[in-house]
Chain A
Amino acid sequence: MLVNVIVNQETKTFVCEPGDYLLDTLRAYNYLSVRRGCDNTSCGVCTVLLNGKPVPSCSVLTASVEGKSIITVEGIQAEAEKLGRHFGDEGADQCGYCNPSLALTVYAMKNDLFQPTEAEVREYLVGNLCRCTGYIQQERAIMKYLGDE
């Protein structure tokens, strides 16, 4: 089937099967920053923004996104760079496999919450698992990113 979407502000038509999941379709179309971490919607690694909201692309059928907007980290490069610089300053990046999905969720949070506290930030991001960092340095970096501008 054909699915018309807007990916990172570009109009696209995906050719896919009705049972295909967005994660696989996006990877097939070379959006390789979108990655698989688990099989059952429980790690956050595959997160993309669907109409501005973070969703697990592994569990969203491509067929269901007809007419919607998708943002991957390729679509928020300037913000990812700002966040990335804070990550660098805090030593918060390790393997980085999940960093694009975290960047997207943080970006969505910035629009969703007004001046969140550290506790609110943790609650918002709890679905993004990380096995490398122990989280604390990530959170320091994220608070600084939110404090910018």
Chain B
Amino acid sequence: MMKVVNHKIPSVDGLGVMKGRHAFTDDFSDKHSLFIKVLRSPHAYARIVSIDCEAAKQLPGVEMVITHNDVPRIPFTRAGQGYPEPSPHDKFVLDEYVRYVGDEVLAVAADSPETCDKALELIQVQYQVLTPILNFEEAVDNEIILHPEPEIHEMFPIGFEPKRNIAASYEMHVGDIENVLKKSDVVIEETFFTQAQAHAMMEPHTVNARIDYQERLILYSATQTPYHVRRIISQGLGIPLSKIRVIKPRVGGGFGGKQAIHGEMLVSLVTYKTGKPSKMIYTRKEVFESSYTRHPMRMDVRLGATKDGILEAIDFKVLSDTGAYGEHALTVFMVVGSKVLPLYNKVKSVRFYGDVVYTNHTPAGAFRGYGAIQGNFGLESAIDMLCEKLGMDPIEFRQKNMMKETETSPIFAIMGEGTEGTAMDMDTCKLEECVETGARLIDWYKKYPRIDMGDKVKSVGMAIAMQGSGIPFIDMGSATIKLNDDGFYNLLIGATDIGQGSDTVLAQIAAEELMTTIDKMIVYSSDTDLTPFDVGAYASSTTYVSGNAVWKAAKQMKAALIKEAARILKTTEEQIEFDGVTFQNEKEESISLVDLSNQITYSEDQKQLSVTSSYVGHKSPPPFMAGFIEIDIDKETGEIDIVDYVSVVDCGTTINPKLAEGQVNGAIVQGLGMAIFEDVKYSQTGKLISNSFLNYKIPTRLDINKLTTVFVDSYEESGPFGAKSVGEIGIDTPPAAFANAVYNALGIRIKELPITPEKILLALKEKETN
């Protein structure tokens, strides 16, 4: 019986944060920091012909103006991934070319934001405006080339062909797809589009720097990847790694948006050059326009099935828009296939292929769901369309064809993230139970497909999903546990809590193993000088990968404690019984942990007990879920009430059931945002119009009436106390489940996100006139 894990422990930091304690990056900026602001390109594509910044430099309070002439010309990627990165090195700190509206032209460092603004107004830049590529379907082999620079390169083969505007490409197949499709009784062929969703975390990108008394560069950064930040700065600016320290304080939400580096390069440059502290806080407009989005995609899907509903073929072609730079170009694309298509593992043939292209849009990058949400929308919409054609209940179809426990898919071995994948069997897969429970909770058979209510119609829709738990053989996490006098511990982790609660969850794992309570496990993350290495918060790796590292460390600490106890109680380690509080030997002589810790700290055979363990996954056990939505649609206006969203999730053991529920709930609402509300609009010249919370609508609390989130019993042997991941899985189902519910309500199929009331109503009108 577990005492800490699988219990609803309040998060270790909730109270302090609620009470407004200093916690976030800007709370730690030096009061006398130089402020840095960036002049951003008004053009989607242009060459900088000349820059006149003399007047700005003369302005009192201006410290420096940095242009592309002042920075080393070293191509790098801001992606914030492990090394070598699967993203092309196609970006310079500043460049002679600007490639999207909002791209960096130059930077000003001055004594206040107001001085920066004044200085920016005094700077004259002459541009040679170039014709941009704004339609990603026209990018490949366009005569306009967005990245002609000779220095840029891939780190290993990812299908990088910049001369063709291709950042990455890939192809795989199992079986002969054309042949299987030809022989299928029922075939559908459909095209789906997804938009460039914005992360919209509440804390804008924030970073500050200073030089400490050892002449080292110290950064506080709102980042998901402090170690990668340190490495990329070192590479990009030529500062020795040993001279850089990156501290991640509390982070105000990330969702993948803070995996990449943002202002880190510029503050490092300014502080390193001037010796003065500096800081940068993105405006909300910059967060929208000049950080990252989700990769917009076009998906061409063909499915083939027998007439009694056996899925035989999946053909999935993807065109992905990475925008101006190729951060996460290949890997997000791969996940469209690798974490979606195995859901239907019994097909005779599956093919997955396509290109990731450059355009003159805001770059795309990592975002919760990471390709799986796009692929899920395409596949799970298409499955319902196939069911319609087969005249089959979509739940029954899925039950017949979906992945089951102990089964596998050839895709796991073929597709990894940039490299080959890892074969694995589904040691835990409770999809059947998820689907069954969800159908019951939403009352599917009473409401499917619709209930007419006069002006409104009620309907339900569903989808299934899977994700991963870290990247096998690549993602590494580690943990240090240290014993203190008075018998409490420090848990030092490189894993980055960005609001998802990993500090609490990891402390629970350590506390459980050491049979102590959470208040005796003081957790600290993350600081490149103090905490051991961890790749950071991405790829749903923290609970599984870092959690396993913590679990190993805790076991090691337990062994070290028992060794000390055996020595003190003059027996062998095997004879020691430890209950978390007291050690006892076979003669029932005992010593408490408090006394032991005090003794080894102060009086006898003194030493610091401290252990460090690391973990690299050998597989990536997928969490699974079934998502069910109930909606009411106004037939005359297309307006939608989201009545309920039922999520039934198999994430293995929930280390903290309430926090796990929070992960799912938050992800469901973010997914609903992508499904219904979050419209991305560009002007004809490529300027992002939806660049503020006034023009980009994330769901409000009035849009969410009810979320029903439950977890099925599941225990993943390879996970810490049976856990898999839960951070991303929740976001995948809402777009397809919603699209399916709209179809069930009105018989209209919308294949382009977001599915707004306007699109629904106009499609309905069109259907009525036809």
Contacts and interface: CB of A to CB of B under 8 A. Distances in A.
- Answer whether A and B touch in the complex at a CB cut-off of 8 Å: yes
Contacts, number: 177
Contacts of A91: 8, 10-11, 501, 656-659, 661-662
Interface in A21-66: 27, 32-33, 35-40, 42-43, 45
A95 B707 contact: no
B255 A131 contact: yes
B670 A131 contact: yes
Nearest to A34: B20
Interface string B8-25: 101101110111111110
Contacts of A96: 13-14, 17-18, 23, 250, 252, 499
A35 B252 CA distance: 11
B8 to A, nearest CB: 7
Interface residues of A, number: 52
Contacts of A88: 10-11, 14-15
Nearest to A92: B662
Given A93-B14, A126-B701, A131-B255, A39 B202 contact: no
B179 interface: no
The A interface is mostly helix, strand or loop, or mixed, namely: loop
Contacts of B500: 94, 132
B658 A90 contact: yes
Interface string A107-136: 000000000000000110110111111111
Contacts of B255: 131
A83 B203 contact: no
Interface stretch (B342-350, B386-394, B509-517, B692-700): B692-700
A100 B20 contact: yes
Interface stretch (B126-134, B280-288, B550-558, B595-603): B280-288
Contacts of B700: 126, 129
B201 interface: yes
A73 interface: yes
Contacts of B204: 36-37
A138 B701 CA distance: 10
Contact of A45 (B17, B202, B657, B704): B202
Given A91-B659, A94-B501, A122-B701, A134 B253 contact: no
A48 to B, nearest CB: 11
B252 A97 contact: yes
Contact of B662 (A40, A45, A94, A122): A94
Determine which residue in A36, A91, A99 has the highest number of CB atoms from chain B within 10 A of its CB, and name it: A91
B659 A37 contact: no
B18 A131 contact: no
Contact of B19 (A35, A40, A73, A95): A73
Contacts of B662: 91-92, 94, 132-134, 137
B116 interface: no
Nearest to A99: B18
B498 interface: yes
Contacts of A93: 11, 13-14, 17-18
B668 interface: yes
A138 B18 CA distance: 12
A128 B203 CA distance: 14
Contacts of A77: 19
A7 interface: no
A129 B698 contact: yes
Given A33-B20, A91-B661, A94-B500, A81 B15 contact: yes
A9 B530 CA distance: 40
B702 interface: yes
A95 B659 CA distance: 12
A70 interface: no
A85 B693 contact: no
A36 B73 CA distance: 34
A92 B701 CA distance: 14
Nearest to B660: A91
Contact of A136 (B251, B285, B659, B704): B704
A56 to B, nearest CB: 12
A139 B701 contact: yes
B706 interface: yes
Given A94-B499, A97-B253, A85 B10 contact: yes
Contacts of A27: 26
A136 B250 contact: no
A63 to B, nearest CB: 16
Nearest to A122: B701
Contacts of B252: 35, 95-98
A135 B284 contact: no
A89 interface: yes
B20 A72 contact: yes
Nearest to B253: A95
A131 B201 contact: yes
B693 A42 contact: yes
Nearest to B501: A94
B701 A135 contact: yes
B17 A99 contact: yes
Contacts of A83: 18
Interface of B: 8, 10-11, 13-15, 17-24, 26-27, 199-204, 250-253, 255, 281, 283-285, 498-501, 656-659, 661-662, 665-670, 692-694, 698, 700-702, 704, 706-707
Given A74-B19, A94-B501, 20 more contacts: A32-B20, A35-B24, A37-B202, A42-B693, A43-B202, A73-B18, A77-B19, A83-B18, A87-B18, A88-B10, A94-B662, A95-B203, A96-B18, A97-B203, A126-B700, A129-B202, A131-B698, A132-B201, A132-B202, A137-B658
24 contacts: A35-B203, A42-B692, A45-B202, A83-B18, A84-B14, A88-B15, A94-B499, A94-B500, A94-B662, A95-B251, A95-B253, A97-B24, A100-B19, A122-B702, A131-B666, A131-B670, A132-B500, A133-B666, A134-B665, A134-B668, A134-B669, A136-B665, A137-B665, A138-B701
The 3 closest A-B pairs by CB, nearest first: A33-B20, A91-B658, A95-B499
